[in-house]
Amino acid sequence: MAKHFKTPEGDAGRESTGRLELQPAPAHRRSWDDEADVAASGPVAGDNRYGFDGGYGYDPQPQEPVRRVKKRRRHRGRTVGIVVGVLVVVLLAVGGVCGFTLYNQAKSVKDQAKTAMSLASSAVDSVKEGDFASVSSDLRELDALCDNINDQISGPLWTVASFVPVYGGDVSAARTLAGALSDVSESALLPLADALQNVTPGKLLSDGTVNVSALQAVADTFSEAAPAVQAANQKVQTIGPTSMSEVSDLVSKAKGGFSALAGAVDTAKGVAPVLPQMLGAEGQTRNYLVVAENNVEIRANGGYGGSQGVISVTDGKLEIGDFQPKMSLGIENALPVTEEEEVLFNQATHEMGSDSGDTLFTPDFPRAAGLLSQMWEIKYGQHLDGVVALDPVFLQYLLGVVGGVKLPDGSSIDGTNAARVLMHDVYWNYDPSTQDAIFAAAAGAAFDKVLGGLGSADLAQLSAAVQRGCEEGRFIAWMENPDEENVIKELGLAAALPDASDTSAAPVAGVFVNNIRGSKLDWFLNKDVTVGTGKRNSDGSWSYPVTVTLSSVMSEEEEESLPLYVAGVGRQASDWNDERLTVLLYAPAGGTISDVSTSGSAAFSTAPEEHAHNGLQVFYGVLELLPRTDATVTYTVTTAAAAGDQPLTVRTTPTCQAAR
């Protein structure tokens, strides 16, 4: 009877007549691990590959190690598989719980973020409306909300989520935003909100006196908030790309908001140290010349300075003196001008250094103000600490806030008609011998009204009027003290030419016009400047197409009734109604102007040609502009390579067309 034998692998042996026929183990089941494990189990007789001795007899002794090796490997693989499986199940379970928790937290954060955005918007609106009590309330609620959001998204689950592909950037952006806003809220926004409650016009200005201590406290608070705001702004500006449109939009708004806030506190930090002395603190008296420019006889900085007066400030108390007509030193006593100024500004009248109105031919207001200050001291013996210039259009903006004033003839000027009355009607309705007196009376009355009415003015309307006037270049200033002048520059009121050596600064080009005939025809002048899309050059500079269009909108009816004084007959004109203008095109610091061409129905008697002023390239031309004609100048402005990708801006002469 045949016997059955088990091989070391546990398979049934073949039936035989008492002899076992051996079958080698398949080659693919042998590994270096097999041999190593067998060797570690002890010596085995014969060929260890098969677990038998070298003969045909069955040796049970070697079998034990071989069976032990195989069982251990199968047990180990099975154990690892079980452990891995358990871990996967555990991770899935934990991930499910964490994901559910994270999902709920995300929903909560999203809802709170909407509330936070609403509170921030409400606070901004309250600032614009001058409701600073509501600002403080909104910001306190916002502070608590930001802290709660920051606490939620600072946990480990959100840290893990920030590494998730694609959307991890959105999580990181949200965490950075929440952290920055939480940091800046308590250390900056709340103190600023409390300080703003003291800047209502009634608290800052009463009975012609500025509350210096209150204003100083506000400036100091802004200055103290600067480090926290700057640190938060740096965090926000480093946020990288995001995937979700909602997050991207929020990040964009946050970057703009933090940048604006950082700029405001940085400016306030510069103002705080010099503000008291500018307002005559500790019994000092500061004297500032206020120049009323007249845009109908246009000058590069705005208009002819035909009337001026001094405002004195002692411990914040303001006193305004009588406004005087233009100053004239006479050609023989003229202040010196440079060769460049002689070519660009003095060829027609030769009075830039002797006539107060013609000092404003130069677009560099610090230079014009310096000449005005010297003229005033020569003529009146009073030293000036600064010069402020404004035009009738800006005066109209202010009168729209504080109310109108009466003129000597019984008529009124207000927020709807001041520019037209002072720059049009007076010339049509009054004899030239009385016009200067009317201008001086109107300027004095308007300033008295403005100073007396600021204390009760609506802050939002006042801020909007001042901001508009500053942005349009209708309110500019110069201070003799260098530290104070730096503040004026920071506030954007300096109207200075760019420093030619600072080629890395944001590029600013210039388009300026001067009336060289002495006419009052510029009430009808339209000036439009457009800058096209820039093209990046291989050296990193940018080139922009620029178009300047000048036109006269005088009607036929007005031309027929044109007073001779308005026409300025006999001075630098080819025709009696010729609005003769010099046109000055300035390149930015380190930049160039090229490809200049002209077209239109008005003619250039002197085509634009290249000159220089204070290290800047300038193109200068003389335009004969008749009623209902126009001229267009096109050219290319190329910025300095050192300015990088900063966009080109253009500073230009303000005209009457906004108030016509």
C-alpha 88, offset from chain centre: 52
Residue 581 has pLDDT above 60, yes or no: yes
pLDDT band per the 50, 70, 90 thresholds, residue 215: confident
CATH 3.40.630 fits 281-475, yes or no: yes
**Higher confidence at residue 591 or residue 263?**
591
Residue of 134 and 303 predicted with greater confidence: 303
Q: What is the pLDDT of residue 634?
A: 98
Model pTM? 0.76
pLDDT at 349 over 80: yes
- In angstroms, the CA 167 to CA 146 distance is 22
- Element holding 276 (H helix, E strand): helix 275-278
pLDDT at 48: 46
pLDDT confidence bin for 152, thresholds 50/70/90: low
Domain ranges in the chain are 1-61, 83-273, 281-475, 500-652
pLDDT of res. 289: 97
- CATH no., domain 500-652: 2.60.40
Distance CA 426, CA 567 (A): 14
Pairing of strands 205-206, 209-210: antiparallel
Mean pLDDT of 54-77: 48
Q: What is the per-residue pLDDT for 55?
A: 42
Mean model confidence pLDDT for the chain: 80
Q: 289, 281 in Cβ contact below 8 A?
A: no
19 Cβ partners below 8 Å, 6+ apart?
Answer: 56
Range of lowest pLDDT (318-332, 358-372, 533-547, 607-621): 318-332
Q: According to the model, what pLDDT value does residue 129 have?
A: 61
User: Above 60 in pLDDT, residue 71?
Assistant: no
- Which of 86 and 492 is assigned the larger pLDDT? 492
Categorize the per-residue pLDDT at 575 as very low, low, confident or very high, splitting at 50, 70 and 90: low
- Report the alpha-carbon distance of residue 367 to residue 497 in Å, rounded: 10
Choice between 514 and 14, residue whose per-residue pLDDT is larger: 514
Amino acid at 336: P
Looking at the predicted structure, is the pLDDT value of residue 360 above 90? yes
Mean pLDDT of 621-634: 96
In the chain, what percentage of residues exceed pLDDT 70? 73
Distance CA 452, CA 441 (A): 16
DSSP letters, 584-652, are: EEEPPTT-EEEEEEEESSSEEEEEEEEEEETTEEEEEEEEEE-TT-EEEEEEEEE--GGGTTPPPEEEE
Q: 3-class DSSP state for residue 571?
A: coil
The CA distances from residue 31 to 7, 238, 378, in Å, are: 19, 56, 109
Task: Kindly report which listed range (75-89, 218-232, 374-388) carries the lowest average pLDDT score.
Answer: 75-89
